[in-house]
Chain A
Amino acid sequence: MRLNSFKKPWLHFLLIGALLYILQATLQTVPRVTIQLPSEERIAELRGQWLRSTGYPPSAEQVQQLVDDEINQEILFQQALRLQWHLTDAVVRQRLIRDVLFVDPENNSDEQALFEQAIELGLHENDLVVRRRLVQRMEMMAYAPIRLGAVDEQALQSIYENNPTAFVQSPRIKFRHVFISSDRHAEAVQQARSRLQQLSTVTAESSSRLSDPFLHGLQFNSLNESQIARYFGADFSRELFQQVQYEAWQDRWLGPITSSYGEHLVWIEAAQTAQQKPFAEVRKTIVSQWRREREQQALNEMIKQLRREYGFDQA
């Protein structure tokens, strides 16, 4: 009786159907594309590149990293091929046509034929420029929603507000100086002191005749600490800004302050304290920073997703 029921056609129908259903479900989770893991030769090549550029061999972990990167690039490349971008991308097309003509300069076929020959020969699979171009397009693809999307003004504002030190206009000083060269004067500090006395009898504007010549000039317009450091050295610049911060500087000569070149007496014409830059001025910077971070996230996300769709094959 039991055995008999197995012979019933409707049961067969159901069983076969169920089997097919399971089979199909299983098959669907099988990755649609399989990519080859880097071969031993390729890994040796990557190690060699590393060795050549660093002067020492990569550690096991570093090799793993190189291999992972290689796999990610390969996935992006394969994905681009699946999208058939190699058949339609203008750059790839031109490159492949040149490749064929390079191999066979006598080839007289028209562009389309040359291109088809290249594809037939599989030149697109091994050309570095084609590969870079397609990988790059995939990267751009990941970035696209962010580049095309609206900027989150609130996020920008909060970056601006949460990083007050990042968007500061540093203090600036406008000044003139009288220079006493240590190459010309063995006792430059003494010389500076005596000129300081002489300076009390002349106006700031006519002070220049008491100065030795200075390559970068005697008058400086509104510069910040690092800008002044490039002409006078970091020690001089720090000292000057400290004096301006802590001492009365109006209507008197400061110094002598020592630089790499000698002594300087300094007349401050204007000093501007640190100021928060207005949001409008720094928005451009914040936007590109915000975008870049999100682009990187998007690319990582894309690779993560694609990795699920791909199977890997030991070479």
Chain B
Amino acid sequence: MLNFCRFVLVLLLSGQSFAAIMPAAEEVTEDVFRCSHYSALRTAFYGDTHVHTKYSLDASTQDTRTTPAEAYQFAKGWRLGIQPWNKQGRAQRSLRLQRPLDFTALTDHAELIGEVKICNSPGMEGYRSWSCKLYRWWPRGAYYLFNYMSSVEATHLGFCGDNGALCKQAALGPWQETQQAAEEAYDRSEACSFTSFVAYEWTGVTPGSGNLHRNVIFRNEQVPEFPFSWIDGPSKEALWQALDRECINAEGNCDVLTIPHNSNLSGGLMFTLTGPDGKPVTAEHTRWRARMEPLVEVTQHKGTSECFFAEGTRDELCAYEQLSYQTFKGQNSRSLAKAPDSTTGFLREVMLQGLQEQQRLGENPFKWGWLGSTDTHLGAPGAVSERDFQGHGGAGVPANDDLPKGLPDALEFSPGGLAVLYAEQNTRDSLFDAMRRKEAYGTSGPRIGVRFFAGWDYPENLCEQQDLLARAYAGGVAMGGDLNNAPAGRAPRFVVQAVKDVGDKDFPGTDLQRVQIIKGWVDSAGNTQSKVFDVAGDANNGASVDLSTCDRKGSGFASLCSVWQDPEFTAADNAYYYARVLENPSCRWSQYICSANKVDCSNADSITEGLEGCCADDHRPVIQERAWTSPIWYTPSR
């Protein structure tokens, strides 16, 4: 009650203009409390929604020992020991975030954290056995009972303590531990310094080893008894059904969403327009998908999925961290690798299909907000620095060695990116609502700031207005939103405002180069089109990077702002618009190591063991770090 009073007080004090533009009241599932940093106009919170700890088999086999609790502490700015380990079990290297994260979701593989739901498949023998009947009737009891049975033997050996308590404790799995760690990490005080989410990864694959993975993120501590895995249900529909049944439609305040990732590795099968029965999807299926899957991961450790690049592609920036293969098979065997193409899961192209579906069904299945994340397998959320990247897949270089001896990760992988959410405050409810309304963006790592709005009546000089934000919210929609009801003869106006990453004390952020707006639409003939507009900054500002030192040369912009009106707007065409903010060029993580080791590709002697990648044909030494906003969709009135 006291907190509610404080909230009302904040509203009153913060001025009438805020109250007028206050977005729809957020859904509240936890104790109502307001953080000391509460802001009605929302601020950007930085996080990582894709993190593996030692409970992921593919992390533990690489000797990652990070527990869920330690992963959260790392996100909060604590030092984390990573492999290799010495005899005493002490880490020989460590990592630390210069800037802590605001939120993190740990997403260990449900299939491998070992907990499978027993007796849930009517087709299987034994489904009707007494234990399965018990399970369906009283799941929690049955689970303990099964594990109790498994501890009976040990009890006879006098190993389990009184009543087998020790063995029962031992049989509890990582799902409990991950929940416990999330609860401990969540700052419920007024400082709201950190938010944790209970989550896991549903690890589906196609028969041809195409990636269908989805991260499952829960709103709060109310989560199903077991994570529903790909083994429990080998289709996304089975997953959503289970989440509806066990979470959304269950008693209490459970809420959940799924975030697909690495569509670039799906061989084009992540976003299909056929249902499980092989028939074209219905409007109902499409609405269901939109409800369950409001976000997509645009970039991470294993490549970027924004748009497809091949020689001749007009938008050359699509080449950024594009992998040279289209499924996991390509990662393991170059001879089996198939090159990606425009149909293998790149979001710009898939979202165009979404617009066509909008015309066909009146519903758009591919209407996502965008996030970046790391997919770290070291349990190191937010470790996105290019400068001291130690790999996300395994061990890197021992800290006691003066010079790195090789590249600590596969050449084509990268440190991955960050997830950014615009929310009133750093709480689970507030951040989860931001995910639902897609007021989110992804970065390739740096903390670039960007806001993106669209409206019909924005003044041309909106960038000059100090109350830009209040006006932008009041007169239009933020990123992730929908633009409807075009006034006759009017084209939408977009305002995009970007600021460079300020950097940390060791490494000032890189200046901005330019801001672009990318438009995708379906023309009157039903053809899909896309076009990139430069709306602010200067592509030819002359900035560059010195490859031998990785020093950045030249300057760019500290901030950019533009009001842009679509010059080719047609009120009858379905369209989406998103903004892309580009930094000046900087060294890629691999080049930092190559240049520190003085590799000179014209001198074979300088290419020492482990550094062959520096001179490989597909090595890209220079990158332009960037941010992608969630799109804003325009839908014509029917």
Kindly state whether residue A62 has any CB partner on chain B within 8 Å: yes
Closest to A83 in B: B154
Question: A209 — which chain B residues lie within 8 A by C-beta?
Answer: 466
Binding site for B on A (CB under 8 A): 49-50, 52-56, 58, 62, 65, 68-69, 83-85, 87-91, 94-95, 98, 108-112, 128-129, 132-133, 136-138, 140-141, 143-145, 147-148, 169, 172, 181-183, 208-209, 211-223, 226-227, 229-234, 259-262, 281, 284-285, 288, 292, 296, 300
Closest to A295 in B: B67
Once the chains bind, are B126 and A85 in contact (CB under 8 Å)?
no
A249 to chain B, nearest CB (A): 19
Kindly state whether residue B505 has any CB partner on chain A within 8 Å: yes
Once the chains bind, are B497 and A53 in contact (CB under 8 Å)?
no
Candidates A140, A183, A288; contact of B557 at CB < 8 Å? A183
Kindly supply a per-residue 1/0 record for chain B positions 95-111, scoring 1 wherever the CB is within 8 Å of any chain A CB and 0 otherwise. Answer: 00001100000000000
Binding site for A on B (CB under 8 A): 36-39, 41, 43-44, 46, 57, 60-63, 67, 69-70, 77, 84-87, 89, 99-100, 112, 114-116, 118, 124-126, 129, 143, 146-147, 149-154, 157, 159, 161, 165-167, 169-174, 184, 189, 191, 231, 391, 393-397, 405-409, 447, 449-451, 463-469, 497-500, 502-505, 508-509, 557-561, 609-611
Q: Determine the distance from Cα of A230 to Cα of B193 in the docked complex, in whole angstroms.
A: 13
The answer to whether residues A83 and B408 also contact, given A128-B57, A215-B497 and a CB cut-off of 8 A, is no
Q: Determine the distance from Cα of A84 to Cα of B57 in the docked complex, in whole angstroms.
A: 23
Candidates B112, B115, B405, B509; contact of A55 at CB < 8 Å? B405
Q: Determine the distance from Cα of A147 to Cα of B116 in the docked complex, in whole angstroms.
A: 24
B183 to chain A, nearest CB (A): 9
Once the chains bind, are B153 and A88 in contact (CB under 8 Å)?
yes
Once the chains bind, are A65 and B87 in contact (CB under 8 Å)?
yes
Once the chains bind, are B394 and A53 in contact (CB under 8 Å)?
yes
Once the chains bind, are B504 and A147 in contact (CB under 8 Å)?
no
B159 to chain A, nearest CB (A): 7
Candidates A89, A222, A260; contact of B500 at CB < 8 Å? A260
Q: Determine the distance from Cα of A133 to Cα of B77 in the docked complex, in whole angstroms.
A: 31
The answer to whether residues A90 and B147 also contact, given A140-B172, A144-B170 and a CB cut-off of 8 A, is yes
Query: Chain B binding site: helix, strand, loop or mixed by DSSP?
Result: loop
Closest to A272 in B: B36
Sample (27) of A-B pairs whose CB atoms are under 8 Å apart: A53-B395, A54-B396, A54-B408, A90-B150, A91-B114, A91-B173, A94-B118, A128-B61, A132-B112, A138-B170, A144-B165, A144-B166, A144-B167, A181-B558, A182-B558, A209-B466, A211-B466, A213-B468, A213-B561, A217-B469, A220-B37, A221-B38, A222-B36, A223-B37, A260-B502, A285-B184, A288-B184
Report the tally of A-B residue pairs with Cβ distances under 8 A: 211
Once the chains bind, are A55 and B407 in contact (CB under 8 Å)?
yes
Once the chains bind, are A148 and B153 in contact (CB under 8 Å)?
no
The answer to whether residues A141 and B498 also contact, given A54-B394, A213-B468, A261-B558 and a CB cut-off of 8 A, is no
Closest to B44 in A: A216
Q: Determine the distance from Cα of A229 to Cα of B38 in the docked complex, in whole angstroms.
A: 18
A172 to chain B, nearest CB (A): 8
Question: B153 — which chain A residues lie within 8 A by C-beta?
Answer: 83-85, 87-88
Once the chains bind, are A183 and B558 in contact (CB under 8 Å)?
yes
Once the chains bind, are A140 and B170 in contact (CB under 8 Å)?
yes
Question: A85 — which chain B residues lie within 8 A by C-beta?
Answer: 150, 153-154
B630 to chain A, nearest CB (A): 17
Q: Determine the distance from Cα of A52 to Cα of B63 in the docked complex, in whole angstroms.
A: 13
Specify which of B57, B166, B393, B560 lies most central, judged by the most chain A CB atoms within 10 Å of its CB.
Answer: B166
Q: Determine the distance from Cα of A232 to Cα of B447 in the docked complex, in whole angstroms.
A: 12
Once the chains bind, are B114 and A129 in contact (CB under 8 Å)?
yes
Once the chains bind, are B114 and A132 in contact (CB under 8 Å)?
yes
B84 to chain A, nearest CB (A): 6
Question: A52 — which chain B residues lie within 8 A by C-beta?
Answer: 394
The 4 closest A-B pairs by CB, nearest first: A53-B394, A55-B406, A88-B150, A233-B502
Q: Determine the distance from Cα of A243 to Cα of B69 in the docked complex, in whole angstroms.
A: 37
Once the chains bind, are A133 and B114 in contact (CB under 8 Å)?
yes
The answer to whether residues A215 and B116 also contact, given A55-B405, A85-B150, A90-B147 and a CB cut-off of 8 A, is no
Q: Determine the distance from Cα of A110 to Cα of B126 in the docked complex, in whole angstroms.
A: 6
Q: Determine the distance from Cα of A38 to Cα of B61 in the docked complex, in whole angstroms.
A: 16
Q: Determine the distance from Cα of A306 to Cα of B509 in the docked complex, in whole angstroms.
A: 52
The answer to whether residues A90 and B170 also contact, given A53-B391, A221-B36, A229-B502 and a CB cut-off of 8 A, is no
B457 to chain A, nearest CB (A): 18
Once the chains bind, are A217 and B43 in contact (CB under 8 Å)?
yes
Starting from the known contacts A129-B57, A214-B466, A231-B502, 20 additional A-B residue pairs (CB-CB under 8 Å) come to: A54-B391, A54-B408, A55-B610, A55-B611, A62-B84, A65-B85, A89-B171, A90-B116, A91-B173, A143-B170, A144-B169, A216-B449, A217-B41, A218-B466, A229-B99, A230-B447, A234-B503, A260-B508, A261-B499, A292-B70
